[in-house]
Amino acid sequence: MYWDTLTGRVIAPWDPGYDDARLDYNARFDDIHPGLIVFCQTVQDVEEAVRWARRHRIPFRIRSGRHSYEAYSILNRGLVIDVSAINHIDSDPDEGTARIGAGAQLLDVYQTLWDQGRVTIPGGSCATVGIAGLTLGGGFGLVSRQFGLTIDAVESMQMIDARGRRVDAAAEVHDDLFWALRGGGANNFGVVTEFTFRTFPVGLVTIFSLQWPWRRLPQVVRTFQAWSDPDDLDRRITPILTLQSQKAGHVSIIGEFLGLAKELEPLIAPLLAIPDLMAENIQEMTYIEAVRRFAGLGADPHRWLAHGVPDQDTFKNTSAYAYRTLSESAIRTLEDALSETPGPSCLVQFGGFGGTIGDVAPEDTAFSHRRARSEIQYQAYWSDPSEGPAHIRWVEQFRRAMLPHTVGAYVNYCDASIRNWPEAYYGRNLHRLMHTKRRWDPGKVFRFPQGLSELC
Ligand X SMILES: Cc1cc2nc3c(=O)[nH]c(=O)nc-3n(C[C@H](O)[C@H](O)[C@H](O)COP(=O)(O)OP(=O)(O)OC[C@H]3O[C@@H](n4cnc5c(N)ncnc54)[C@H](O)[C@@H]3O)c2cc1C
Residues at the site binding ligand X, with contacts judged by CB under 6 A: 24-25, 61-69, 72-73, 83, 102, 124-126, 129-130, 132-134, 136-137, 139-141, 186-187, 191-192, 307-308, 412
Cβ(373)–Cβ(228) below 8 Å: yes
Three-state DSSP class for 318? strand
Tell the smallest beta-carbon distance from residue 227 to ligand X (Å): 21
Closest CA to 126 of 284, 299, 304: 304
- Specify the residue, 137 or 358, whose C-beta has the smaller distance to ligand X: 137
**CA 316/CA 204 separation, integer angstroms:** 35
**CA 136/CA 366 separation, integer angstroms:** 10
Tell the smallest beta-carbon distance from residue 70 to ligand X (Å): 9
- Specify the residue, 97 or 187, whose C-beta has the smaller distance to ligand X: 187
**CA 277/CA 189 separation, integer angstroms:** 49
- Specify the residue, 216 or 307, whose C-beta has the smaller distance to ligand X: 307
Q: Which residues partner with 98 through β-bridges?
A: 91, 197
- Specify the residue, 333 or 349, whose C-beta has the smaller distance to ligand X: 349
- Specify the residue, 26 or 206, whose C-beta has the smaller distance to ligand X: 26
Q: Which residues partner with 105 through β-bridges?
A: 130
Contacts of 95 (CB under 8 A, 6+ apart): none
- Specify the residue, 49 or 62, whose C-beta has the smaller distance to ligand X: 62
Q: Which residues partner with 255 through β-bridges?
A: 208, 239
- Specify the residue, 217 or 433, whose C-beta has the smaller distance to ligand X: 433
Would the CA dihedral through 386, 389, 390, 392 be positive or negative? positive
Mark out the alpha helices in 97-143 (DSSP H runs): 106-117, 131-137
Cβ(195)–Cβ(131) below 8 Å: yes
**CA 328/CA 350 separation, integer angstroms:** 17
- Specify the residue, 132 or 338, whose C-beta has the smaller distance to ligand X: 132
Closest CA to 337 of 320, 324, 354: 320
Contacts of 304 (CB under 8 A, 6+ apart): 207, 209, 254, 293, 294, 296, 298
**CA 242/CA 139 separation, integer angstroms:** 19
**CA 107/CA 105 separation, integer angstroms:** 6
Tell the smallest beta-carbon distance from residue 431 to ligand X (Å): 21
Tell the smallest beta-carbon distance from residue 250 to ligand X (Å): 21
CA dihedral 403, 405, 411, 413 (to 10 degrees): -80
Tell the smallest beta-carbon distance from residue 222 to ligand X (Å): 25
- Specify the residue, 132 or 217, whose C-beta has the smaller distance to ligand X: 132
Tell the smallest beta-carbon distance from residue 224 to ligand X (Å): 19
Tell the smallest beta-carbon distance from residue 273 to ligand X (Å): 29
Which residue minimizes CB distance to ligand X?
Answer: 133
Tell the smallest beta-carbon distance from residue 192 to ligand X (Å): 4
Cβ(199)–Cβ(168) below 8 Å: no
Tell the smallest beta-carbon distance from residue 339 to ligand X (Å): 26
Tell the smallest beta-carbon distance from residue 81 to ligand X (Å): 8
CA 219 from chain centre, in angstroms, equals 29
Tell the smallest beta-carbon distance from residue 278 to ligand X (Å): 25
- Specify the residue, 28 or 216, whose C-beta has the smaller distance to ligand X: 28
Closest CA to 136 of 414, 420, 432: 414
- Specify the residue, 155 or 265, whose C-beta has the smaller distance to ligand X: 155
Cβ(279)–Cβ(209) below 8 Å: yes
